[in-house]
Copies of this chain bind each other. A is one copy, B any other.
Amino acid sequence: MQAKLQKLIAALASRESIVLAADCEVFYEGKAETVLARGHRLIIIKKDGTVLVHQPEGNHPINYMKAGTECTVLYDPPKAILNCMHIAFGDSMEVVLHEIYFVESSPLSDGAKIQLTGNERDMSDMLYENPYRIEKGLIPVSKEEQTKYGFIDVLCYDENNCLAAAAGIRSMAHLAALPSLRRYVEKMKQSKGIENVRGILVAPMITENAKHMLKDWNFSFVAMDPPKFREKLKKSQAKLSDF
């Protein structure tokens, strides 16, 4: 125990990335309060002060502290205490270590950023670039307009010269997706003094409740999948072959 604690204390001082496996209890107090009885866990301490406690199953840390946490170690035989405090957030976590199985650390460095495709931004771009996929004859006017009342993806005129606001959701469209579209349509009616502004929700799927609410408002739903990386890749390759 003492040798492993020494290793842990040295690693904390050096600000390396640390992993330990231990039999421990955990107590958290902050935005909520939690108690976790004794069990075997992995504890990760990052150089920015992030602390994660992971059980041997499940995707999520069972307890965590965000970046900026200060960790101190107290040896109180036969147990040890890892004390984690985040002063600014008023958060504290206490890990009572009954046994340590291993401690490892390494001075990791990583500046890479992840590149992701198939998200809402790609959906929005696709709607603007291919309005015909929403409906024949649509002419885009503006894209991704951030208003005081919400967010709209594409504002268009339809073939009857009627204003239409289209909002895109990359996955299942729930009730929560609707108020911003509704708010925006209402605001357009008022500010332009028009009676008829259409609302169109574009998503691969929609829940029954959301469908009912759309019907109540006389809004439309258009089923469409979000673009994926391979499609984008194909498209950019096609463009290259044009030259």
Contacts and interface: CB of A to CB of B under 8 A. Distances in A.
B31 A118 contact: yes
Contacts of A116: 32-34
A42 interface: yes
Interface string A68-102: 00000000000000000000000000000000011
Given A33-B228, A48-B57, A117-B33, A40 B175 contact: no
A80 B44 CA distance: 24
Interface in A15-69: 17, 19, 21, 29, 31-42, 44, 46-48, 50, 52, 54-59, 62-64, 66-67
B33 A17 contact: no
Contacts of A117: 32-34
A231 to B, nearest CB: 10
Contact residue range for chain A? Answer: 35 or more
Contact of A110 (B19, B40, B183): B40
Contacts of A196: none
A19 B39 contact: no
Interface in A176-210: 176, 178-180, 183, 209
Given A31-B118, A33-B117, A104-B104, A50 B42 contact: no
Given A21-B104, A46-B57, A213-B183, A39 B229 contact: no
B40 A109 contact: yes
Contact of A175 (B41, B64, B183): B183
A46 B58 contact: yes
A106 B21 contact: yes
B110 A56 contact: yes
A150 interface: yes
A119 interface: yes
A34 B229 CA distance: 9
Interface in A213-242: 213, 228-230
